[in-house]
Structure 1
Amino acid sequence: MNLKEALKNPIFRSVTEAADQLGVDTYVIGGFVRDFLLNRGTPDDVDIVAIGNGIAMAREVASKLPGQPKVSVFKNFGTAMLKHDGIELEFVGARKESYDRNSRKPTVEDGTLEDDQKRRDFTINALAISLNQATFGQLLDPFGGLADLERQIIRTPLEPGITYSDDPLRMMRAIRFATQLNFEIELKSLQAITEHKERIEIISKERIVEELHKILASEKPSKGFALLHKTELLPYILPELVALQGIEEKEGQRHKDNFWHTLEVVDNIAETTDDLWLRWAALLHDIGKAPTKRWHKKIGWTFHAHEFVGSKMVYKLFKRLRMPLNEKMKFVQKMVLMSSRPQVLAEEFATDSAVRRLVHDAGDHVDALMTLCEADITTKNPRKQRKYKNNFKLVRQKIEEVEERDHVRNFQPPISGEDIMETFGIKPSREIGVIKEAIKEAILEGEIPNEYEAARTFMLKKGKEIGLTAKS
């Protein structure tokens, strides 16, 4: 294993020169080393730890680089950062930390390299490579991180209870790394997360959401959400998902477990799109089923209006987690609200008018909606799966045909309010809205084509019906 290969970028030679000139032992540590050893490439952000003053080291390195890049100093954290040639280097002095129970902000003092490695979250993130000339490229691995990489294990350098209690965000990070890398969390570590689960409450919602985003963006997000469920962290973060878990049976009739179904849907959609907000829509598409679940003797289990209820819950969930209450949230709401519409079309004969309404209501998001609904096929019956997938193909074809012919996506009426006022010689009034709505309905129902002349003829007829007379 040639670790010098990881350090071939000339920027590391500048760090070496600065380190030797200042007489400071200096190392590259953390994710850069981990990802190189995993053959995941080398990230653009590099953590450098100096056994001394990290800020002084950053300034010395900058002075040796072409163009002498600006050094950003963060005195509160004792760190400095510079960017050069597409790489972001963050410098910190080696330190040891102690924690107050009510905060994840540590008391920091100068320390050795091993002190610094101890404070790292996991052994695989505590690996360091020397940058000094005499030991250039030498790996320092006091906690067996290299072996854990080979065994694909997430393990803490210290006793896991201490690591997680000190900084409870590490519980989320353990699950996130296990999901991203497809590693297993060491059993002791997994048990410690459950034991300290309530500590997650001291972590800001923003930091939690950051980890949730990374779990959702991974190749198989279900692994992360299953671990959040197993460690009992999920009720503190997404109780709406926990409420979906379980199967109830009455008079021999059962409903599916909507929690595990949801995780399947998320994995399905992860195979077809990297769109984070569409993945959020998949995660939340059924959250309205818990509050709307009802048993009816004649028809069995129902979840009436769960899409509408779920879309309202999306707003509350986003607000609680301090997620953006903007177009991203509205997109997720829309997907949840409309999540069953294409399914109904796929199960029945899709009429042109029904497809027109779907395209009109979904607008630019109709393709995303279809992707979500196709991901929602989780039946294990091969015949049913083939049937549903073929039906969705037919619906997609029909959408293309209707859109090409009728142009109802992001519908703009061929007759404007000004046209109506001019035609009938009236001022702004309720009648204008009535006529515009009638024209829209007539186009969506296929009574008239989406064209000006046809719409004008219809407008004159409708105006006459409500007592308006066209100017001669």
Structure 2
Amino acid sequence: MTKEFHTEAIQHPIFELIGSTADELGIDSYVIGGYVRDYFLQRNTPKDIDIVAIGSGIELAQKVASKLKGKPEVSVFKNFGTAMIKHQGMELEFVGARKESYQRDSRKPIVEDGTLEDDQNRRDFTINAIALSLNKDSFGRLLDPFDGLSDLDKKTIRTPLEPGITYSDDPLRMMRAIRFATQLGFSIELKSLQAITENKDRIKIVSKERIVDELHKITMARKPSVGFKLMLQTELLPYILPELTALQGIEEVEGQRHKDNFWHTLEVVDNIAETTDNLWLRWAALLHDIGKAPTKKFHKKIGWTFHGHEFVGSKMVYKLFKRLKMPLNEKMKFVQQMVLMSSRPIILAEDHVTDSAVRRLVFDAGDHVDDLMTLCEADITTKNPKKQKKYKNNFQIVRQKIVEVEERDHVRNFQPPVSGEEIMQTFNLKPSKEIGIIKDAIKEAILEGEIPNEYDAAYQFMLEKGKEMNLKVHTE
């Protein structure tokens, strides 16, 4: 066993307290997992810290909590043999060392008490199996039976045991391998990659919520495309996001080809990752072209078309979110809106930018117009420097126009200057379609720039429209 010590990794007083409490109980205790890994990677160490006790993790947690200032509550999860303490922004999770065995139809293990070695064996990757002792006589001693430190140096994701068993036992580990590779910029060992491909259909026993949690982390990485390429390579992607794999490939008919919309999508996601940490805007980038697979058609005269792909794609967003048990709330509606409108600014940037077109864009996008522009700028993936410069300049013009039009016309989150009630009173109308016709006409006149977005002009316009419709002004 190594005699290497790393006391500088566990300087925080909480570690000494846990170690001395474990000594009182006559058990060994270790810090293991993400905290240790990220210390050696010189990343910001996570606030969730895993503690392994060779004995009862719950008992150790309760005794530690009784000694902490404010005596924080201990959350006990008896079924899992774990306990959690939240203290000074940290989440300390205590578990008794255990060995695990699995049944074919479940990723929930049968758990027995075990040694530290058993506990390290059950870890997903060698880089997450590195432990540091917390007991006084061995404080800071490194326990690295699978050479995880060497894998950190080599930037390699490798399983402690045979990868086929590791991934078959708990198939979520396949997603975790891809997620760590994406977040850390590591590569997955070849044997592991092959084992993921061989066990790909096992992903079906993993809950949608756990899969989505990993998808979110991949999508929020600095370069999300790494994860999606690995999911494609290992053939996991069709099980999770078949809408994306359907975009892959280039067809050629009569010498006319279209671009590969799958690889284009990954470029867009990487582009947007450089400019925003908005998870749902990144999802919009990932899904902005999913309507292209079902709408793809070849016409002899004009070549390949994807008519209405934005509308079809926005409808697909709902089905995708529902299938993956993602939130069917404002977050989904935001992604739908971004997908539906994803081509609008591009069309504006190609043509002469009119005020009325910009007004309509701001009216339809509302508070999300800036997000929409960010998405469209990320959508520029042309390798032609002249074209790229032209598009970027045109988008700057559109952004400037948005500012000018918004300052002057106030159409974001538009409220009609004349209310339905006032129209009813003016013409002595009961609720009827005429009111809607007049309200729409006022809105259209403002968006077209025929009248300013002001009460007096809108009121005058209402009177003229009423006259056209043979409505009499009501006088008391």
Alignment match of 1:357 (pick from 357, 360, 363): 360
Aligned to 1:461: 464
Write the deviation string for residues 95-140 of structure 1: whole angstroms up to 9, x where unpaired. Answer: 0000000000110001110100000000000000000000000110
Aligned to 2:98: 95
**2:416 is equivalent to residue 374 of structure 1:** no
Q: Provide the C-alpha distance between the structure 1 equivalents of 2:436 and 2:448, rounded to a whole number of angstroms.
A: 18
Q: Provide the C-alpha distance between the structure 2 equivalents of 1:192 and 1:131, rounded to a whole number of angstroms.
A: 35
Write the deviation string for residues 183-202 of structure 1: whole angstroms up to 9, x where unpaired. Answer: 00000000000000000000
Aligned residue identity for 2:326: M
Q: Provide the C-alpha distance between the structure 2 equivalents of 1:411 and 1:70, rounded to a whole number of angstroms.
A: 49
**2:137 is equivalent to residue 134 of structure 1:** yes
Aligned residue identity for 2:350: E
Alignment match of 2:18 (pick from 11, 15, 31): 15
Cα offset, 1:3, TM superposition: 2.1
Q: Provide the C-alpha distance between the structure 2 equivalents of 1:379 and 1:156, rounded to a whole number of angstroms.
A: 40
Cα offset, 1:166, TM superposition: 0.1
Write the deviation string for residues 365-411 of structure 1: whole angstroms up to 9, x where unpaired. Answer: 00000000000000001111001000000010111111111000000
**2:209 is equivalent to residue 209 of structure 1:** no
Task: Indicate if the aligned counterparts of 2:5 and 2:142 stay in contact, CA closer than 8 A.
Answer: no
**Paired positions, count:** 472
Write the deviation string for residues 270-327 of structure 1: whole angstroms up to 9, x where unpaired. Answer: 0000000000000000000000000000000000000000000000000000000000
List aligned pairs for 1:313-462, cutoff 5 A.
Answer: 313-462=316-465
Task: Indicate if the aligned counterparts of 1:6 and 1:42 stay in contact, CA closer than 8 A.
Answer: no
Which sections of structure 1, spanning at least 5 residues, go unmatched? none
Aligned to 2:299: 296
**2:452 is equivalent to residue 471 of structure 1:** no
Cα offset, 1:2, TM superposition: 6.6
Cα offset, 1:17, TM superposition: 1.2
List aligned pairs for 1:124-273, cutoff 5 A.
Answer: 124-273=127-276
Q: Provide the C-alpha distance between the structure 1 equivalents of 2:287 and 2:21, rounded to a whole number of angstroms.
A: 51
3-state SS of 2:213 partner: helix
Aligned to 1:69: 72
TM-score by structure 2 length? 0.98
Cα offset, 1:429, TM superposition: 1.4
Q: Provide the C-alpha distance between the structure 1 equivalents of 2:75 and 2:404, rounded to a whole number of angstroms.
A: 56
Cα offset, 1:64, TM superposition: 1.7
Q: Provide the C-alpha distance between the structure 1 equivalents of 2:270 and 2:89, rounded to a whole number of angstroms.
A: 33
Cα offset, 1:414, TM superposition: 0.2
Aligned residue identity for 1:185: I
Alignment match of 2:311 (pick from 293, 308, 312): 308
Write the deviation string for residues 22-49 of structure 1: whole angstroms up to 9, x where unpaired. Answer: 1101000000000111011221111000
Q: CA RMSD for the aligned pairs?
A: 0.8
Aligned residue identity for 1:429: S
3-state SS of 2:100 partner: strand
Q: Provide the C-alpha distance between the structure 1 equivalents of 2:398 and 2:430, rounded to a whole number of angstroms.
A: 43
Task: Indicate if the aligned counterparts of 1:81 and 1:88 stay in contact, CA closer than 8 A.
Answer: yes
Aligned residue identity for 2:389: R
Q: Provide the C-alpha distance between the structure 1 equivalents of 2:348 and 2:238, rounded to a whole number of angstroms.
A: 35
Aligned residue identity for 2:63: E
Task: Indicate if the aligned counterparts of 2:132 and 2:142 stay in contact, CA closer than 8 A.
Answer: yes
TM-score by structure 1 length? 0.99
**2:124 is equivalent to residue 121 of structure 1:** yes
Aligned residue identity for 1:442: A
**Stretch moving more, 52-61 or 171-180:** 52-61
Cα offset, 1:5, TM superposition: 1.6
Task: Indicate if the aligned counterparts of 1:18 and 1:60 stay in contact, CA closer than 8 A.
Answer: yes
Task: Indicate if the aligned counterparts of 2:98 and 2:119 stay in contact, CA closer than 8 A.
Answer: yes
Write the deviation string for residues 188-235 of structure 1: whole angstroms up to 9, x where unpaired. Answer: 000000000000000011100000000000000000000000000000
Aligned residue identity for 1:109: E
Q: Provide the C-alpha distance between the structure 2 equivalents of 1:286 and 1:343, rounded to a whole number of angstroms.
A: 14
Aligned to 1:281: 284
Write the deviation string for residues 256-278 of structure 1: whole angstroms up to 9, x where unpaired. Answer: 00000000000000000000000
Aligned residue identity for 2:110: T
Which sections of structure 2, spanning at least 5 residues, go unmatched? none
Cα offset, 1:428, TM superposition: 1.6
Stretches of 4+ aligned residues off by more than 6 angstroms = none
Aligned to 2:48: 45
Q: Provide the C-alpha distance between the structure 2 equivalents of 1:3 and 1:401, rounded to a whole number of angstroms.
A: 59
Q: Provide the C-alpha distance between the structure 1 equivalents of 2:20 and 2:5, rounded to a whole number of angstroms.
A: 21
Task: Indicate if the aligned counterparts of 1:155 and 1:186 stay in contact, CA closer than 8 A.
Answer: yes
Sort the Cα spacing of 1:2 and 1:270 in 2 relative to 1 into closer, same or farther, 3 A.
Answer: farther
Aligned to 2:114: 111
Q: Provide the C-alpha distance between the structure 2 equivalents of 1:416 and 1:343, rounded to a whole number of angstroms.
A: 34
Task: Indicate if the aligned counterparts of 2:5 and 2:141 stay in contact, CA closer than 8 A.
Answer: no
Identity %: 78
Q: Provide the C-alpha distance between the structure 1 equivalents of 2:384 and 2:236, rounded to a whole number of angstroms.
A: 33
